């Protein structure tokens, strides 16, 4: 049995995390879910968007499956996602971007993985009000953080037979900060002579991602660029509704859907659970349940290929419940 912290999240979060529990039950993996609330629901229930009970649960279990949490724009509490990454030193945000049959896009042969540094850059949240007409935000880039995300990207590339790592930067303008990031990436690259290494300025990289995404294999980048690029890449393969996400540290891991909480469709039973299910697939691989992971992944591929029981965002008319039930049927009748 596996002990895993489950954070349902806000908006559609409870609906799609319920789908994950149902599918994992169907595949025969026994999980003791420790359900904890964070975000808006936690704020309403206990006046704290990140209660100590949630932190304690993560410390005890070390593995988390997390639904989307609402981040208020321009007001309210600090992003829970950012806070969790900083609290548990989840320095690597990893997002596989892969074309899937049954999803209509301009390309059908994209297969890349994004490694985004997750703890610093402008997301360090250091902002100062200088006057009523001037606000300054401080970009933090450190040698240690740059080195460890580069090590993670290159190690992954070797372990998974990837051939190239591309570092994305803006060192032509931010010569000191992005320059430091590149220094460390180059040092790490020297130790991996079997893996090709190149660099692209972020604006040029965005153009090439749209024009020729097949040229990319593993992308290594800082926090802000990674956030933007990963959503751009998601759009190339069908959107955030089919993209898994992992926040990885040395001691803790949070697996999550990378899309938002979609409050406009919450409670309507039409939310697409595939992104968090694919995140759960990565989680199952991590806890050495490869057979179960493959069964769920193959069921998702078959569902998309047949185009039956798809939710409205994927061009169908199925409910979340109907899609989940069909996945369970595909798993049990393989």
DSSP string, 43-103: HHHHS-SS-HHHHHHHHHH-EEEE------SSSSSPPHHHHHHHHTT--EEEEEEE--TTS
Q: Does the structure show a pLDDT above 90 at 249? A: yes
> Sign (positive/negative) of CA torsion 97, 101, 104, 110?
positive
* Pair (305, 186) in one structural domain: no
Q: Does the structure show a pLDDT above 90 at 49? A: no
Q: Which of 213, 237, 261 is the last residue of a domain?
A: 237
Instruction: Confirm whether 216 is domain-assigned.
Output: yes
Nearest CA to 274 among 248, 306, 247, 309? Answer: 309
Nearest CA to 279 among 309, 231, 247? Answer: 247
* Confidence at 83, pLDDT banded by 50, 70, 90: confident
Helix (H) or strand (E) holding 220: strand 218-221
Average pLDDT, the chain: 93
Strands 127-131 and 134-137 turn out to be: antiparallel
CATH of the domain at 78: 3.40.718.10
Nearest CA to 275 among 19, 91, 92, 55? Answer: 19
d(CA 145, CA 91): 7
For residue 72, what pLDDT is reported?
60
Q: Which of 185, 219, 237 is the last residue of a domain?
A: 237
d(CA 20, CA 13): 11
d(CA 114, CA 220): 6
* Confidence at 265, pLDDT banded by 50, 70, 90: very high
- Residues whose CB is less than 8 angstroms from the CB of residue 25 and which lie 6 or more positions away in sequence, other chains included: none
Instruction: Confirm whether 99 is domain-assigned.
Output: no
Higher pLDDT, 50 or 133: 133
* Pair (123, 212) in one structural domain: yes
Burial readout 116-129 (b: 16 or more C-beta within 10 A, e: otherwise): bbbbbbbbbeeeee
Nearest CA to 244 among 206, 273, 287? Answer: 273
Q: By residue range, what is the domain housing residue 326?
A: 1-93+238-334
- Give the tens place of pLDDT for each residue, 185-235: 999 999 999 999 999 999 999 999 999 999 999 999 999 999 999 999 999
The predicted model scores a pTM of 0.91
Nearest CA to 92 among 61, 67, 117? Answer: 117
Q: Which of 187, 221, 237 is the last residue of a domain?
A: 237
Instruction: Confirm whether 75 is domain-assigned.
Output: yes
Instruction: Confirm whether 246 is domain-assigned.
Output: yes
């Amino acid at each position: 049995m596996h002990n895993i912290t489950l954070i349902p999240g806000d908006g559609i979060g409870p609906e799609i995390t319920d789908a994950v529990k149902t599918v994992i039950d169907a595949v025969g993996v026994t999980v003791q879910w420790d359900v904890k609330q964070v975000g808006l629901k936690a704020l309403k229930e206990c006046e704290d968007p990140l209660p100590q009970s949630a932190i304690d649960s993560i410390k005890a279990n070390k593995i988390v499956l997390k639904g989307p949490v609402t981040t208020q724009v321009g007001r309210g509490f600090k992003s829970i996602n950012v806070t969790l990454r900083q609290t548990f030193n989840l320095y690597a945000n990893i997002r596989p971007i892969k074309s899937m049959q049954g999803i209509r896009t301009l390309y059908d042969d994209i297969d890349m993985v994004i490694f985004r540094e997750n703890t610093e850059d402008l997301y360090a949240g250091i902002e100062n009000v200088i006057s009523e007409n001037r606000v300054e935000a401080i970009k933090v880039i450190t040698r240690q953080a740059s080195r460890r995300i580069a090590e993670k990207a290159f190690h992954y590339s070797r372990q998974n037979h990837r051939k190239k790592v591309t570092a994305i930067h803006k060192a032509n303008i931010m010569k000191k900060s992005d320059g430091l990031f590149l220094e460390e990436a180059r040092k790490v690259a020297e130790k991996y002579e079997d893996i090709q290494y190149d660099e692209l300025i972020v604006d040029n990289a965005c153009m090439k991602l749209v024009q020729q995404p097949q040229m990319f294999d593993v992308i290594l980048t800082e926090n802000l660029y990674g956030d933007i690029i990963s959503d751009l890449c998601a759009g190339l393969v069908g959107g955030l509704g089919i993209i898994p996400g992992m926040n990885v540290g040395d001691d803790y891991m949070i697996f999550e859907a990378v899309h938002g909480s979609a409050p406009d469709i919450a409670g309507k039973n039409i939310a697409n659970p595939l992104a968090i299910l694919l995140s759960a697939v990565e989680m199952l691989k991590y806890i050495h349940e490869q057979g179960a992971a493959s069964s769920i992944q193959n069921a998702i591929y078959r569902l998309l290929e047949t185009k039956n029981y798809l939710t409205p965002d994927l061009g169908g008319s199925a409910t979340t419940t109907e899609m989940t039930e069909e996945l369970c049927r595909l798993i049990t009748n393989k």
